[in-house]
Structure 1
Amino acid sequence: MKLVTAEEIRLLDRHAMDDYGVPGVVLMENAGRGAALYFHDFFRSLHPGPLLVVCGKGNNGGDGYVIARHMENLGWKIRVLVLAERKAVSGDARVNLEILLRSGMEVDFAVDAASLAPTLEKMAGMRLIIDAIFGSGLGAEVRGHFAAAIDWINASGAAVGAVDIASGVDAGKGLILGCAVKAACTSTFAFPKVGQMIQPGASHGGKIKTIDIGMPRALLAKVSDRQLFIDAEAAAGFLPERPLTGHKGTFGHLLVVAGAVGKSGAAVLAAEGGLRSGAGLVTAACPAAVHGILEAKLTEAMTAPLPDLQGELSLQAYEKVVSLAEGKKALAMGPGLGAAEETCALVRRLVRHCDIPLVLDADALNALAGHPETLGERKSTHVILTPHPGEMARLVGKTVADIEADRIGAARDFALRFGVVLVLKGAATVTALPDGRVRINGSGNPGMASGGMGDVLTGVIGGLVAQGLDAAAAAVLGVYLHGAAADRLAAEKGVAGLRAGEVAAEVPAVMHDLRKGRGYR
């Protein structure tokens, strides 16, 4: 599903009007009518209201006036509140406001906090509120009587529907600009907005429906795939083939380098992730000190002991890893390795000289922190990094708050700079490709906030690379499978107490359902 930013939707509107001759008032009419029908259906149990439409002075408010007109025609009891003076409303929005006034609809105007307070007192008892205050163009923090109106909406106890995007949500980054409406559903126009699909903005829009507002198909086709939302249908398109004549060699051999004393489970989980994603063979290489544990825990995977120093890999392991990598289709490295100086030096040396596809996570990422030049010196042309926000912050020398303030920008900038695939984990995981394209994941739940989940993901992605998927496809599909497997478990057990090993075990079932055309989100 294609996603757009505020600037991209603004340009689409402009091209529709200037290049194709579609009047702005027609686009507004189509948007408002489509939204009205959606809200009428979604909130049918609340009919006939009363219903309040809260409008700003711009085009989002104009959409609100059209919605008010059509919902009145559908039998709703309507009141309209405009958070501006009548004369401040202009253009197509003014046209539709005047229609309401001439039709005798009750419209109130509030221009500041002083005039808003007594007006809101008259609005008590509303069963449904339609938020048409700000659209996707909002770029500054919400203040004054606009913030007061949003706070009142959220505290009103009424059901809420948002027009285009919940007011207060940044359409490009998903940030909350001071405060934001919390809606049960949103009617968005032409394309969903990026900020509606990433957190925290995604938590404010509820169920999102895209409304066709009559833009020409030729124009819509020009919208690029720079940002995509990955749902079950999109993920299914990346699944590797499983030919009837295939054998274990057909589906690739994954090498996992992971584990240390006290963290042997990370190596086990990464290996299990590789097996569960369909790799034909998996070899888990670990410090000799924990090799016996892996031998006991891993039945289907092969294992290999590596030279260590006090339970963590030493530089002497380099030649053994290089030898093990011969004939392998991918190397997944990092889970549970530890932060010993020799271990970090080993990781950097392997990143520089290993020429097979690499999946780097956890302590492999920490080994690169402060040494980003290592990625520029690598031989491998296919590298995937899977940091959580803390690891990402260390990689780029920023704070976690900096990363979370612009997750897409952080991931995209790093991917472009180093020519890698960057998977920035978290709610609505962001995967940035080397050419700057971004994929936002649509699966997963809070039950994944437990130890070992990232180790499984490393193995799943590595296993997909081993099966022949390119780095971008493996990362995007792996992230979706990982989240969808957790969604299967959550549907049965809830979102507390899920274990990473359980998630790994559900991956084959998710892949099967995707092949059958069934999804979980």
Structure 2
Amino acid sequence: MRAATAREMREIDRIAINEYGIPGAVLMENAGGAVVRYLESIINPLADQRFCIFAGKGNNGGDGYVIARHLANQGAKVKVFLLGEKAAITGDARINLDILDKMNMDVIEVVSERDWDKVRVAATFADCLIDALLGTGFRGDVTGDMARMIDLIHAAGKLVVAVDIPSGVNADTGKICGKAVRASHTVTLGLPKPGLFLYPGADYTGELTVADIGIPTAIVAGQKIKQNILMAAAVRAILPQRSPDAHKGMNGRVALVAGSRGLSGAAAMAAAAALRAGAGLVTLAVPAEIQDILAVKLTEVMTRALAETASGTISQKALGEIASLTKDSDVLAIGPGLGRHEDTVAAVREIVKTAECPLVIDADALYALANYTGILTECAALPVLTPHPGEMGLLTGLSAEEVNGDRVQIARQAAGEWGSIVVLKGAHTVVAFPDGEVYINTTGNAGMATGGTGDALTGIIAAFVGQGMSSHDAAVAGVYIHGLAGDIAAQAGMVGMAATDLIKAMPAALYGMKNY
């Protein structure tokens, strides 16, 4: 499912109005009608229900006026509160405001303290509050009377339905612009917006529905929209299908270079996740001193000892053994628990430049690439990088906060510059490709905020590549299935959930995707 930025949505509207000849008032009518139909699905009947509609000065407010008219026609009791004066309303919104005036509907300009008292009383006794204050084009921070109105909406403690996007949420990034409406439901218009799926905006969206407002599909198809919302149907279509007569050699030979003294767990979880994601054969190459530990932890995984440094990390002397391993493997995952010894860092860079099979690069292997991302263009196949925001910041020179402030654009830019697939982990995970295409995941939960879940993702993506998926499809499917397994594991409770719980849930996640 495509997701449009604010700029892209404005262009779609412009083409619909100016080139296809659909009046803006018609699109506004369709938008308001779609919201009312959604309200009927959650509040039935609408008759005699009390609604407060909070309207701004733009087209979002105009949608609110249409909603008010339709609700009144169905017998609901409606009050409209306009933040400002009627004289400031123009265009299509003005047309619909004038209709309300002719219907003698209660439209109150909120300009004095007495007006604010009316807002408080009406909100207290309302059954539902409609947020039509700010649309997707809002920029800057919410302050002054707008912030006061949002506070009042929250203080009422009622069901809140946002029109298009909760006011104060940035449509492109999910950033909160100083203050935002926390909606119970959001009816977004035409196409979803990325900010509805990216935190913190996703936490303000509530239950989301996408409403058709009559924009011709040809207009959307003609736009180069490169944001995608990752849904089950798309993943189901690309998952590998296992033949009834399959044997282990047909299901992927996955190699992992991971682990170091004190960090055997990361290696173990990546390897276990690869198995649970369907890999036929998994070989885990680790520093010699921890090989015995991993052999005990992982019954089904083959282990291989590598030359090590005095600190218990792999050394450059292991490069020959690793090269031999990659020749016999369909994919190499590198990084979990690897350590940051200077000799290890040098070895990682050499592996990235010379590996003959596709790479999945995570954790300490990403650390080794800081200031060396140029070598990614030397990879034999398109590599997959799986940084969390801190690691992404290390690679880009940004803080984790800056990375999270614009996850889509930063991941997209990095993927283009590095000629790599970038899986920017977090809520929600973003998968970006060198051509600018981006996928925003919809699975996963807060229970996954625990050590080892990122290592599991590395193993899952590697397993999918090993089973014959392209690195592109493996990254997309891996992220979705990883989150889905986390959701299954969380059914027993999020707090206290461990990465191993997610790994154990992998077969159920895969079975569910293929059979439901």
- Normalised by the length of structure 2, the TM-score is 0.97
The percentage of aligned residue pairs carrying the same residue is 45
1:288-367 residue pairs with structure 2 within 5 A?
A: 288-309=288-309, 310-367=311-368
Describe the superposition over 1:54-112 as per-residue Cα deviations: whole angstroms up to 9, x where unpaired. 0001100000000011111222110000012111100110000011111011110024x
1:101 alignment partner in structure 2: 101
Question: SS state of the match for residue 44, structure 1?
Answer: coil
Displacement of 1:344 in angstroms is 0.8
Displacement of 1:225 in angstroms is 5.1
Q: 1:40 is aligned with what amino acid?
A: E
Measured in 1, the distance between the counterparts of 2:199 and 2:39 equals: 24
- Is the Cα–Cα contact under 8 Å of residues 108 and 115 in structure 2 kept in the other structure? no
In the alignment, is residue 3 of structure 1 matched against residue 3 of structure 2? Answer: yes
Describe the superposition over 1:364-390 as per-residue Cα deviations: whole angstroms up to 9, x where unpaired. 0111113223323x2322200001011
Q: 2:300 is aligned with what amino acid?
A: E
1:418 alignment partner in structure 2: 418
Displacement of 1:114 in angstroms is 4.9
In the alignment, is residue 511 of structure 1 matched against residue 510 of structure 2? Answer: yes
Q: 1:369 is aligned with what amino acid?
A: A
- Is the Cα–Cα contact under 8 Å of residues 198 and 427 in structure 1 kept in the other structure? yes
Displacement of 1:185 in angstroms is 0.5
- Is the Cα–Cα contact under 8 Å of residues 447 and 494 in structure 2 kept in the other structure? yes
Displacement of 1:499 in angstroms is 1.4
2:68 alignment partner in structure 1: 68
1:495 alignment partner in structure 2: 494
Q: 1:253 is aligned with what amino acid?
A: R
1:119-134 residue pairs with structure 2 within 5 A?
A: 119-123=118-122, 124-134=124-134
Measured in 2, the distance between the counterparts of 1:167 and 1:454 equals: 33
Q: 1:513 to 1:225 in 2, by over 3 A?
A: farther
1:160 alignment partner in structure 2: 160
Question: SS state of the match for residue 238, structure 2?
Answer: coil
Structure 1 stretches lacking a partner, 5+ long: none
Describe the superposition over 1:289-338 as per-residue Cα deviations: whole angstroms up to 9, x where unpaired. 10001111111111100011121111111111011111211000000011
Measured in 1, the distance between the counterparts of 2:258 and 2:455 equals: 9
Measured in 2, the distance between the counterparts of 1:331 and 1:74 equals: 62
Q: 1:414 is aligned with what amino acid?
A: A
1:260 alignment partner in structure 2: 260
2:170 alignment partner in structure 1: 170
- Is the Cα–Cα contact under 8 Å of residues 46 and 127 in structure 1 kept in the other structure? no
1:238-249 residue pairs with structure 2 within 5 A?
A: 238-249=238-249
Displacement of 1:275 in angstroms is 0.8
Question: SS state of the match for residue 312, structure 1?
Answer: coil
- Is the Cα–Cα contact under 8 Å of residues 307 and 314 in structure 1 kept in the other structure? yes
Question: SS state of the match for residue 136, structure 1?
Answer: coil
1:95-494 residue pairs with structure 2 within 5 A?
A: 95-111=95-111, 114=113, 117-123=116-122, 124-224=124-224, 226-309=226-309, 310-376=311-377, 378-491=378-491, 493-494=492-493
Measured in 2, the distance between the counterparts of 1:192 and 1:399 equals: 28
1:9-24 residue pairs with structure 2 within 5 A?
A: 9-24=9-24
Corresponding residue pairs, total: 514
- Is the Cα–Cα contact under 8 Å of residues 195 and 202 in structure 1 kept in the other structure? yes
- Is the Cα–Cα contact under 8 Å of residues 421 and 433 in structure 2 kept in the other structure? yes
- Is the Cα–Cα contact under 8 Å of residues 82 and 110 in structure 1 kept in the other structure? yes
Q: 1:167 is aligned with what amino acid?
A: S
- Is the Cα–Cα contact under 8 Å of residues 356 and 382 in structure 1 kept in the other structure? no
- Is the Cα–Cα contact under 8 Å of residues 116 and 145 in structure 1 kept in the other structure? no
Structure 2 stretches lacking a partner, 5+ long: none
- Is the Cα–Cα contact under 8 Å of residues 227 and 439 in structure 1 kept in the other structure? yes
Displacement of 1:121 in angstroms is 3.6
**Farther-moved stretch of structure 1 (189-198 vs 115-124):** 115-124
- Is the Cα–Cα contact under 8 Å of residues 56 and 134 in structure 1 kept in the other structure? yes
Q: 2:419 is aligned with what amino acid?
A: G
Measured in 2, the distance between the counterparts of 1:115 and 1:358 equals: 65
